[in-house]
Structure 1
Amino acid sequence: MLEGLRGEDSIAELCRREGISSSMYHSWSKEFLEAGKRRLAGDTARAATSDEVKELRREASALKEVVADLTLENRLLKKKKA
């Protein structure tokens, strides 16, 4: 992709050397340039890695436990007041 952007070789030559069709190259090129435009416009969304997902699940589980503990404590305190 980057070699094609540099313009040192023709796209046809680059595709022959890499064993890809020119339509594949142009599809990748379009995706690459669109992603660059989105990034420059401030779009930083991306897919999370499996490690990030696992960490977020652990964090969510820990937060749920805290909410459960606080809810139980709140109920107990309300019963004491009544």
Structure 2
Amino acid sequence: MKTPRKQTAENYIKEIRRKSRRIFSSEQKIQIVMEALRAEMSIAELCRKYSINESQFYKWNKEFLEAGKKRLSGDTTREATSDEVAELRKENQRLKEMVADLVLRYDIVKKSLSILE
């Protein structure tokens, strides 16, 4: 059992910021990067418009360009999105529970058959 840690004010604020952080979908990230590529406004203005840090934008931009480079070079494998990973984890958990249930039923049937003999 975990022992409760004393939460400092700084940690409390960090936790609130972490939980209230906006999550951008991949489509939103692509839209923002594409808007920057059109060069209709500066990167600083674009980041202010979407209330994101410039370093975050440059990270998305780099990921976008790297993915395009991989795709054009013939690398057809792609990484799963976080939604796909979450869905696969749910399915994995469901299958594990089914196997556990079947093993339990098998043990019950096996024991009941051994009693009858």
TM-score, length of structure 2 as denominator length: 0.41
- Give the structure with the larger helix fraction: 1
User: Which residue, out of 40, 47, 55, partners 1:8?
Assistant: 40
Question: Could you say which residue in structure 1 is the equivalent of 2:92?
Answer: 56
Q: Determine what percentage of the aligned residue pairs are the same residue.
A: 35
1:43 equivalenced with 2:75 (yes/no):
no
Superposed, which structure 2 residues align to 1:61-80 within 5 Å?
61-67=97-103, 69=105
Which consecutive unaligned segments of at least 5 residues does structure 1 have? none
Shift in CA distance, 58/29, structure 1 to aligned 2, threshold 3 Å? same
Following TM superposition, the consecutive aligned residue runs of length 4 or more in structure 1 with deviations greater than 4 angstroms are 67-74
Shift in CA distance, 38/20, structure 1 to aligned 2, threshold 3 Å? same
1:31 equivalenced with 2:63 (yes/no):
yes
Radius of gyration: which is bigger? 1
Shift in CA distance, 67/38, structure 1 to aligned 2, threshold 3 Å? farther
What per-residue deviation string (whole Å, max 9, x for no partner) do you get for residues 12-60 of structure 1? 33234334443332122113333x24873212334322xx233321222
Q: How many residues align?
A: 77
